[in-house]
Amino acid sequence: MTHVGVVGAGVMGAGVAQNLAQCGHTVALVDRDPDAIKQALSGIETQCRMSRLLGGPEIDAEAVIGRISTDTDLLLLAEAEVVIENITENWELKRALYREMDPVVRPDAVFVANTSAIPITRLASLTKRPRQFVGVHFMNPVPMKPAVELIPGHHTSQAALERVRDLLSSMGKKAIDVNDACGFVSNRVLMLTVNEAAYLVHENVATAETVDEVFRSCFGHPMGPLETADLIGVDTILYSVEVLYEHYADSKYRPCPLLKHMTDAGLHGRKTGEGFYSYGPSATATATGRSAAGGGTDRSPSHD
């Protein structure tokens, strides 16, 4: 088993930590915010205990939590063999983190960037180990998704790539090889779709509920683009679209003003209890009729 460092205890980081610990790896989970760590552990325990009820395998929650150590100090990562970074999709924050993390982590460790848009070669340039730097785009919710995008940077060694591929395999993930480019494959397509769907709501062409119903009923998608935005995080969607817009300088990636408004208002989706839909204690989605002003009237539940 591998000793893996996980940096960032948000939705993605918690999911990565849970998936690793469920598969027998020891995990060092680090976040600057102690409350984020507390919420992550609570969420992991809940997910494990509910697994059987939701049609999944029976999971020993205590054993999973027992494999996860936590701290707010990066020194916890000192002995990690692989370190998976999951912080906010913000270049300045990532730059500061990697420059602080690089000298702390053992020289032979591999860095994995769980990023949705930022090029891997650019991130690797922040470290003194570009040959030991790999990109992995995990999908949310991490423990339930069977595949990831695996992205080498310009300097990534074959040994580092195979080391990460083996780790992913042990987590039950199929690694789909993708070349390094901003947004990779999934988010070059998905972020355009979600951004355009947000424009439809912003321009009062349709409600969020209607947009998602078209995708579910006409195209057979299990979730519509705005339900997906709430699951990923509206703020994460915005940051990813902004990265694409900045990198390609192409107007087709111009972020929808509604995404900016919702992010500023704290309407980030499931993780905050309200986004394009409102989420009650049971996490059932109810359409809000979200408009550019952020208002609307609740309608009947539309989530699967």
To the query of whether residue 187 is one of the catalytic residues in this protein, the response is yes
Separation between Cα atoms, residue 64 and residue 34, nearest integer Å: 19
Q: Which of 85, 149, 209, 274 is catalytic?
A: 149
Q: Which of 25, 137, 261, 268 is catalytic?
A: 137
| Closest listed residue to residue 56, CA positions, set 122, 185, 143 | 143
To the query of whether residue 155 is one of the catalytic residues in this protein, the response is no
Q: Which of 19, 86, 114, 187 is catalytic?
A: 187
Q: Which of 19, 86, 114, 116 is catalytic?
A: 116
Residue 7 bridge partners (DSSP): 30, 85
Separation between Cα atoms, residue 259 and residue 143, nearest integer Å: 27
Is residue 39 within 8 A of residue 9, CB to CB? The reply is: yes
Q: Residues with Cβ < 8 Å from 244, sequence gap 6 or more?
A: 117, 182, 183, 187, 188, 191, 250, 253
Q: Phi first, then psi: give them for residue 246, nearest 5 degrees.
A: -65, -40
Q: Which residue has the tokens 């979730």?
A: 223
To the query of whether residue 203 is one of the catalytic residues in this protein, the response is no
CA 288 vs CA 66, 112, 191, 207, 279: distances in Å: 40, 37, 21, 8, 10
To the query of whether residue 149 is one of the catalytic residues in this protein, the response is yes
Active site residues: 116, 137, 149, 187
